Amino acid sequence: MATQTRMEENISRTIDTLSASLRELSLKARKKPILPTLYSVLTTVQIHQNPELCYGEHMAHNAICNYLVQNFSLYGITVVRKAYGLETSFLAEYVNRDGEVVDFCAEYDALPEIGHGCGHNLIAISSIASFLGLAALMERTGIPGKVRLLGTPAEEGGGGKIKLIEAGALKGTTASLMSHPTPQFPHMPAGSAGIAFGSCLAATGFLANFIGKPAHAAQMPWAGVNALDAATLAYQAVGLLRKHIRPSDRINIIVPEGGTAHNIIPAKAQIRVNVRSETLKEMNALRERVENCMKGAALATGCEVDIVPAMDPYADIRPNESLCTEFTRYMGSKGMKYYCDLQKKDIGAFSTDMGNISYEVPSFHGHFFIPTPPGTAMHTEAFRDAAKTEEAHDIAIFAAQVKDYFEKDKKLR
């Protein structure tokens, strides 16, 4: 059996060799080979510079699949495009006899208008490097098992991982891992490199479609039933509800539709609602209270209301103690301080469908800090620009090296 030092060297050497090609895949195109000992990397798609929205990540899907096929098919890595019935999902595998099955999740969808303001290009590169590094280690040392790279589209509200779960993508998986870039959290100790575990909020969303009756707003307003009044009353009711919810709960509302002409009583209005809470159970209870605000407003104004789901519910992340503590310990041995909040004292104000995977199999969803201007938040242009820097890429690659090593630990449950 290879020693710890030898395994670390194998992983680091492999990922260091790939770093330049992965940088090209993430950030820019290149026509000339940059891995002379492998097939040429002929990527013409730049993940960061060509942002694609959920379920429309065709260029990123093809770029990653082409990169893997052109460079690593001779090394026993197989690639399935459009995996599990999703046009922009893929599955890459390396198998070395029967054993544990480890998945790395690669995200690559972007945000409307902002582009890669959540840094999913770095998630993709980190997971690709993790997958290839662990595959190389298994090949060189004979460690049995299967390592998989699962392309997970549509994290930004589309619930891609939920659809993959429903399609059976997680059957037989021992553990699932990924790491996410983030700005330095202001409450973290100085010198912190990231977070091994910090929980997030469960989330769901729905549309409330209010139906009234049109009438001329000046000649016969009494003949109309104002759907916009219902939407306005519902908005106000939620505002009053906010005084009686937990500090970590979130209710966000927009009004996409509220009439088309000022002299016509609006017969249609729509509210889009996003509800978040610390757990799935608490989120479902809060959603019911918000839905009652919609129903009460419709009743009070004489309207009808049709409430329809707008997204699959995202679960909170369940921590896996073995994975989180081993990651924290190993990073500490390398001089990197990582925060591990297994008691969920620090709930992140974000949501991810990786939470749904954590309800299915032991999971790891770490965060690595990348350099950003002071006060930078995610889902901003400033974070988008930070996610394309050389330093951010190098940090993502280092996180991949560490994930590879600590994943050998069999104490997954």
- Is there a contact between 193 and 330 (Cβ–Cβ < 8 Å)? no
pLDDT digits (tens, 9 = 90+) for 107-134: 999 999 999 999 999 999 999 988 988 8
Residue 95 falls inside a structural domain: yes
**Domain assignment of residue 251, given as a range:** 202-314
Residue 226 falls inside a structural domain: yes
- Separation of alpha carbons 402 and 413, rounded Å: 20
* Mean pLDDT for all residues in the chain: 87
Residue 24 falls inside a structural domain: no
Residue 25 falls inside a structural domain: no
Last residue in a domain, options 314, 340, 365:
314
**Do residue 284 and residue 370 come from a single domain?**
no
**Do residue 286 and residue 162 come from a single domain?**
no
> Residue 42 — very low, low, confident or very high, per pLDDT cuts 50/70/90?
very low
The total of structural domains in the chain comes to 2
**Do residue 273 and residue 352 come from a single domain?**
no
In angstroms, what CA-CA distances link 347 with 183, 198, 201, 315, 341?
Answer: 16, 6, 7, 13, 9
The token pair at 70 is 């052109």
In angstroms, what CA-CA distances link 241 with 93, 157, 235?
Answer: 49, 25, 10
Query: What CATH number is given to the structural domain containing 241?
Result: 3.30.70.360
Cβ neighbors of 232 (< 8 A, separation 6 or more) are: none
Q: Can you give the pTM of this predicted structure?
A: 0.84
**Do residue 228 and residue 184 come from a single domain?**
no
**Do residue 392 and residue 329 come from a single domain?**
yes
Q: Quote the percentage of the chain above a pLDDT of 90.
A: 63
pLDDT digits (tens, 9 = 90+) for 328-340: 888 888 888 888 8
**Do residue 144 and residue 71 come from a single domain?**
yes
The token pair at 121 is 């290009």
Q: Which H or E run includes 227?
A: helix 227-241
**Do residue 305 and residue 158 come from a single domain?**
no
Residue 170 falls inside a structural domain: yes
- Is there a contact between 28 and 45 (Cβ–Cβ < 8 Å)? no
pLDDT at 2: 55
Nearest Cα to Cα of residue 76 among 103, 56, 94: 94
The token pair at 342 is 């297994």
Residue 263 falls inside a structural domain: yes
Residue 17 falls inside a structural domain: no
pLDDT at 9: 61
Query: What CATH number is given to the structural domain containing 40?
Result: 3.40.630.10
Query: What is the crossing angle of helices 390-406 and 120-141, to 10°?
Result: 40
Looking at 28-32, 77-81, 300-304, which range is the least confident one?
A: 28-32
Question: What mean pLDDT do residues 202-225 have?
Answer: 97
